[in-house]
Structure formats: structure tokens, C-alpha cells
Structure 1
């Protein structure tokens, strides 16, 4: 079938399937998807592929040969591996991966990996250089004895995953069945798609450089929830991305953390704010009934526990301008916010916008008491915005009650005037 360009093959693990797929038989093949069969060993076949998907396949060659095949895939743009790393000999798991020389897949634009153990994922990533121009979706199988996400990343990540060191935005979710980090990195200019010959689409297409991203996630087979892992998630965040140049820190400017914040600690948050000194936007969301007090205790501690805490430069996250928080409205939370933002204000470092989103009253905190807290915060932050359905309902009810009282007073007054006129 010399004209065939796309082949999807699913079968039993047997050598006869893979052996028949050769460059000589399929010289125009561009898209190859194999499931539960043997991967062919014809390097020239892979050299022409643009899309390769391997699902639970087996190999008649070593992992080193597999790397050679990938390195020879000079046209490959999209690589998907589903449970495809368990079958090569486990010899590739031995040794120190940090001493390896990672291969490059020059035109790769998207890598998807799922259904692999943390160890297999980490070791594979240690052998492949993935520039920020490659969109990543890496989902590993959780193993209780290993530190969740940080262990899934390669030990030589500075050489193989540079996006970890240059990401400017991170959205972290540790809630329910979701444990993931989404990283976004900005590039100085749009990146052209490499020219792929006359038969390929025009090379004038551009990648959206502002949305180059990578997603790293974990999947639990026991179906338990991730809620108790918030502190671990913050630790993973720090350990995974603390790879900036010495003394400069990470360039991260926007951080969104979603989950049940009761399970975090002030110490964990303090490490976060020390690790990301360039932070400009902080968004805390998730369970509206979780306590978010430790977020502000951690931010405050990151400034006040420094040796130079008396100086203006001691303020952590100097450029922090926008904070959005969703959680339980308790006295401790408002008090922690007041202490944190008052200290920053006294140092001349004022947050521009503080958004309080659906902070329900708790532990007997009255509407009047909360309004007093918000008024105090308005003296320390340039703009405090309250987005709260409960408060709007209370204020609307209060307005309606006041309106009813005015109407009642008006009716009484009109009745009195009518009586006087009759007399």
C-alpha cells in the first residue's frame, strides 16, 4: 500500500504485526498509531512520521534503540505514549539518569504521556530534551511510597524541562480527583512552525507563543481524593520549580492555587512566597468553606522572618499587586489579612487590588463585623472588592426592610394628613 499515509493498527502482542510495517511497504506513511502490538524496528519508517501513537505496545529491541528511533524521527510533531514504557527491559532504569545526554526530537510540538509509573515517567523524561515550544501533557500513576509529583520529574530537569525554570504562570489544583500543575511560559515573539516540504501546510502558520504550556498530573487508582495533599502540593511546587539562577529566583508572576486550604500550613506558604519573589498575581480558590488564613500568615512570615526585616526591601513578593481569595470568612482570616497588608503598607508596598470572593460568614461573624474588617483593609489596599452573594442578599434584604419602613412611615403620615383635612 505505497500511497497509505495513515495507519491505525490494534492487535495482540505478536511479532508478525510489527514486522510487516516497513518503510518499503509504506513509503508515504505520516501517521502511525499502534495498540497492543509489536513496535517495528525500521528506523527509516519513523524518520518520515509526523504523528506517532503507541498504546501498551511491546518491543523487540532495547530502550537505547527506542531512543535512537525517536532521535531519528526528524519530522515528528506529535508523540503520544499510553502505557508504552513498561515493556522494554528494565535495564534502562538502572544507573544515574543525570549523567545521560538527552536526545532531541527537532520538530516535536506535542508530547502526551499517560498510564506510566512515576519511575518510568521520570526516567523517560530524563532522556529527552523538551524545549518550552513543546506542549506537554504528562499524567503519571500515583505511588504512595513516593513524593507525588516532584518524583515524577527527571533529576536532570534543568537540562530536559527548561519550562520549569522559565514559566511565568502556574495553575495548581489539589482537590477531589485532580492533582495537577499547569505551567505557561511566555516567549518574546511568535514561533514559526518549521517548513515541512511542499506537501505540508504553509510554514507561515504561527504558534501562539503566549500560551505555550505544560501540564503535569497524577492519577490515583484507589479513587481517594487529593484534598489532604495541599501541603504536599505546595512542597512539590517549590521543589519542582526552584531552578532559577542563583540569587534571582523563579520568574513566576502569576500563581493560582485551587483546593481545600485547611490542609496547607503557614510554613508551606512561606516557602512558596520565598521561592517566587517576582509574584504579581495570587489567586486562591477551591472549597468555599476551607480556611485560607495560612495563606496570609505565610506571606507575612516570608517578610518578617528575614534578617533584614526592618528594611523596605525585606517585603516578600515586592511586586504583588492583585490578590483574589475565596474561602471561609472567619475572624482569624480577616485578622491575618489585616496584619499582612498593614505591614506591607507601612513599608510602602501596597497591593493594588484585593478581591474577596464569596467569603461566607462563619463562627458568628456578623455582617457589620465583616464590613468593619473590609473598611480596615481598604486603608491598607488601594481597592478592596467584595464579590459575595450572601452579602448582596443581606444588603438587599436590609434595603428592602428600610424601604418597607419608609413606606410605612409615609402611609402613616398620609393618613394623618387625611384625618386633619376631614376635620
Structure 2
């Protein structure tokens, strides 16, 4: 098959198909997709590939040798490693023991100079090592999927991205949008968009199994802090946070508003109360006499997905209205731009709903003097 350029092979679902592919057999091959097959043993076949997709593909070599094989793919533009391709290597890495630095790295970086799209599935241990090894200067899409928590404490963002992620994935040095979702016992997700047009994507989909030493409600705050510690967020204009918002301390929200200086849009979804978030904005606004925090902030919204039931409903408190009004007044006094849109959708317990009926009307009138558009909705829970 000397003229063949694209090859896709799918083996039996519960078996592994052994196909003796060689470079001599397909010398012009540029796209290879294998499902339930053994990986080609002739490493020369990889040198001209521009696209490589492997799913449930078995290797008879070590992890280090596997990285050497990928290193031969100098023309590769698209890489997908799916469904247990990397899982056997996790056991090999575990047998090496844990280094003092917390991240195992290869002495020689794996450089794929033309790679633009990469999707990798596997256990957390091997993904941490893989990301610390690979350099993809032209990448515009990096997706990590189906990695599992191995009951190791500490923010996932720290383990996956440290050290110096922007050196290996350059678009992370110019982030535009950060989306972070953490739920007790449910998947962790983080999405980072950057690059000149803001469309380059780094995303993690992470299945979590929480233990008593690392409760799920700590994931949101610790990973938000890790993002601020590790990544340059000064250019981020959109932040989306999902989870138990009131499990994040006021001081952390204060730091967030002070750190995301270019923030224009803040969207939150989840449950609990919003007191700590708005208290953090108030503190961030009044704590500095030199410059107002995130001066261009123009929209604060709630992604209210009614189909998702009580999980994405925020609860009103007696003091929330005063906190919000105080924060908005403080921003006006500090010279910050007015919010163009404020969205608050809140559920009330019966007693609070009755007790605040007149106060709510007054509050909405007051806030409309400070915000261009107010989308307020309240209901009894």
C-alpha cells in the first residue's frame, strides 16, 4: 500500500488486533487511527505522521520508550490518546516512588513542535508526568479526560500544571477566560482559554473520589487559589465559578477580585449563599487607596439552569442585600465603572420571604441607581 496516506483500524471490542504495520508497507502514511490494536513496532512509521489517534492500544515497551516513540513524531499536528492507552504506565511510574519535588520529570523534554490539538485520557499520576514532560509551542487545544483522584491531597491544578506551565504550553501565558467547577463527589472541571484571540483551550475533566482527609468542598477554594498562584491571570476578562460558592472564604474572594485586574464578566452557578463573594468584593474595593480592584468589571451574573433542580439555586440571607448595596456604593465612591448588568436569582425560606417583602422592593430601587440593568428574581423554596 505505498500510496496510502490515511489508515483507520478498529479491532474486536474485547480483543486486541495485532496488525504488523511497517514503514515499508505504508511509506506515505500521514494519519493513523487504531482502536483495540497493538501499536506498530516499527518506530519509523511515526516519523511522517500528522495525526495519531490511539484507543485501547497496547504497547510492549516501557513508559520512557513510549515517550521516545512520540518524540519521533516531529510532524504531528493532532494527538489523541484514549481509553487506557496510558494506564499501564501509571503502575510503572508508581513503582519508581515519589520524588521530593512532588512531580516526576523526564531529563529530556518531549517536544512536538507542530502539535496543535492534544486529547489525553488516563490516571492522574501519568497525566501529571506527561504534562511536565511535553512541550507543545503551537498548541491551541489541550484536553485531559477521565483522570482519577488517587486520594492525594492538594489542588489538582497544582499537580497538573506546576512547574512553569506557560513555558510548555505558551498560550497559558495569555489567558482570557477561566472556568472552574468543583462539586462534592462529582467531576472537577477547569477550562482555561487564552492566546491572541482567546480561543486556545486547556481543559481538564476529572472524576473525583473524595476521602475524609480531603473533603470535596475544599476543591473549589484550593484550586481557585492554585490558579492565582500558578497562572498569570492579569489578562483574564471572564471568570466562571461553579460549586458551593459560600465554601470559599471572604479573604479568598477578596484576593480574587484584587488579582483578576482585567475582569469584566463574573459568572457563578451553584448553591449556598452569595454573602462571602460579595463581602470579598466589598473588602477588595475598600482595602486599597491606590487603585480600585478590577475597575472594568461590568457584569455579575448567575447561570440559573432551572432544569438542574436545587443544585444550582442560591439561597437568600437577611444581610445579602446590604452587602451587595454596600459593595456597589464602595465601587462608585472609588471611581470604578458601573456594572452594566447585575443578575441575582435567589430562593427564600418562608419566614425570610415574608419578613423581607417590602425590603426587597426598596433594595431593587436602590440598586437600580447603581447598576444599568438589574435582573432580580426571588421565590419561596
Global fold match (TM > 0.5):
yes
Partners of 1:377 and 1:384 within 8 A in 2: no
Q: How does 1:93-108 map to 2 (within 5 A)?
A: 97=104, 100-108=107-115
User: Secondary structure of 1:355's partner?
Assistant: strand
Query: Does 1:358 pair with 2:345?
Result: yes
What is aligned with 1:126?
132
Deviation at 1:360, TM superposition (A): 3.3
Q: How does 1:6-21 map to 2 (within 5 A)?
A: 6-10=7-11, 17=18, 20-21=20-21
Query: Does 1:76 pair with 2:76?
Result: yes
* Equivalent residue in structure 1 for 2:261, among 277, 285, 291: 277
The worse-fitting range, judged by mean Cα deviation, of 270-279 and 20-29 is: 270-279
2:113, 2:226 → 1: CA distance?
29
User: Secondary structure of 1:155's partner?
Assistant: coil
Deviation at 1:148, TM superposition (A): 4.6
* Equivalent residue in structure 2 for 1:211, among 199, 203, 228: 199
What is aligned with 1:395?
none
1:293, 1:163 → 2: CA distance?
34
Deviation at 1:241, TM superposition (A): 4.7
Partners of 2:23 and 2:44 within 8 A in 1: yes
Can you list the C-alpha shifts for 1:352-392, whole angstroms capped at 9, x where unaligned?
2242242234423533211211222233x23141253759x
Query: Does 1:138 pair with 2:144?
Result: yes
User: Secondary structure of 2:28's partner?
Assistant: coil
Structure 1: gaps of 5 or more residues: 188-208, 392-423
1:99, 1:50 → 2: CA distance?
24
Partners of 1:13 and 1:58 within 8 A in 2: no
Deviation at 1:113, TM superposition (A): 1.4
User: Secondary structure of 1:331's partner?
Assistant: coil
Query: Does 1:378 pair with 2:368?
Result: yes
Partners of 2:39 and 2:58 within 8 A in 1: yes
What is aligned with 1:324?
301
Partners of 1:235 and 1:268 within 8 A in 2: no
User: 1:29–1:120: structure 2 CA closer, same or farther, 3 Å change rule?
Assistant: same
Can you list the C-alpha shifts for 1:54-93, whole angstroms capped at 9, x where unaligned?
2343333333332232222133222111222233443777
Q: TM-score, normalised by structure 1?
A: 0.73
1:350, 1:43 → 2: CA distance?
59
Partners of 1:242 and 1:250 within 8 A in 2: no
Larger Rg: 1
Aligned residues: 352
Partners of 1:136 and 1:213 within 8 A in 2: yes
What is aligned with 1:194?
none
Deviation at 1:124, TM superposition (A): 0.4
The worse-fitting range, judged by mean Cα deviation, of 291-300 and 363-372 is: 363-372
1:220, 1:244 → 2: CA distance?
23
User: Secondary structure of 1:341's partner?
Assistant: helix
Partners of 1:102 and 1:160 within 8 A in 2: no
Q: How does 1:176-325 map to 2 (within 5 A)?
A: 177-187=186-196, 209-220=197-208, 229=216, 231-243=218-230, 250-287=234-271, 290-304=272-286, 306=287, 309=288, 311-313=289-291, 315-325=292-302
What is aligned with 1:334?
321
1:260, 1:132 → 2: CA distance?
36
2:173, 2:284 → 1: CA distance?
21
Partners of 2:240 and 2:268 within 8 A in 1: yes
